[in-house]
A = this chain, B = another copy of it.
Amino acid sequence: MFIHSVEALRLHVDRRLAELIPAPGEEPGRLGEAAHYALLAPGKRFRPLLTLLSAEAFGAPTSRALDVACAMEMVHAASLVLDDLPSMDDARLRRGRPTTHRVYGEADAILASVGLLTRAFGVIAEAEGVLPQDRAELVTSLAEAVGFNGLVAGQALDLTDRNRPRTVAELDALNHRKTSVLMMAAAEAGARIGGADAEGRRELGEFARRIGLAFQIRDDLIDVEEGGEHVGKDVGKDAGMTTVVSALGPRAAVAAIEAHLEAADAALARAGCEGRLGAFARSLFSGRKAAA
């Protein structure tokens, strides 16, 4: 039914990611190594898979969306490197390994992050098989997702008054910027490459927005309930911070996840998307206590 399993797509993404940045050992030396370390760390590759499966949901071959999908992972990896810096979350562990700045130092970590972000825009601007008008609009849309109304603002907001109590509405606005905006850009990009109209792109964006909010609540649950070794990144960092989980309690948080997933399904149905996109997104929430 599909040419590649999701697992095979994930491997395609990893192979292509490695081709799109300098190989370790090549110029620019240690900086390239740091970028490679940050980008190719084991991960779910959720954002690029969102792009690929969204393109597929509108009938495009996943191969046509591969480079744009990889750009989404570059942005994600770049954002993780920055979030983990000593001046921000000061994290020690990420994706099961020491954080990039702990291995390569702060300067190379910051420059690798900026290099990956920059490469993402470059890759999109020259994506083969995508019309110039679409490439320009994909750059615009990604820039909005990253910039002063997106990821960057979300991270700044997250660092401000960390221990101030926040309302659930404030937390949703924060989680929207920290998590949903990039997932929305990823899904909308796939839809655009798949030839979706504005309405279809909007519904895919809504689907991804809901998945992102569910994701963030699940992350907060894991932070409360599980140990660091198991999840591969620092946990317990949220102690003292308001999260949806601390604001609502774990039971209501699980219900909120379910409500977001149902709204995500409804958006897909409105867009007339069949195929495995919805099932794939749901699969990420199964098999773990926090999302049960």
Identify the A interface with B (CB < 8 A): 21-22, 27-32, 35, 82, 85, 87-88, 105-108, 110-111, 113-115, 117-119, 121-122, 124-126, 131-133, 135-137, 139-140, 142-144, 146-149, 152-153, 155-157, 159-160
Contacts and interface: CB of A to CB of B under 8 A. Distances in A.
- SS class, residues of chain A in contact with chain B: helix
A121 B142 CA distance: 9
Contacts of A131: 132
Q: Which 9 A-B pairs have the closest CB atoms?
A: A122-B143, A87-B106, A125-B139, A28-B153, A31-B156, A132-B133, A118-B147, A132-B132, A125-B140
Contacts of A113: 114
Nearest to A121: B121
B115 A87 contact: no
A125 B117 contact: no
- Oligomeric state, in copies: 2
A117 B119 contact: no
Contacts of A140: 122, 125-126
Given A117-B117, A118-B143, A126-B136, A31 B152 contact: yes
A118 B119 contact: no
Contact of A157 (B28, B119, B143): B28
Contacts of A88: 107, 110
Contacts of A149: 27-28
Contact of A147 (B87, B110, B119, B139): B119
A114 B114 contact: yes
Contact of A110 (B21, B32, B82, B136): B82
Contacts of A28: 148-149, 152-153, 156-157
A159 B111 CA distance: 11
A124 to B, nearest CB: 8
A113 B146 CA distance: 12
A105 B118 contact: no
Given A126-B136, A153-B27, A153-B31, A105 B87 contact: yes
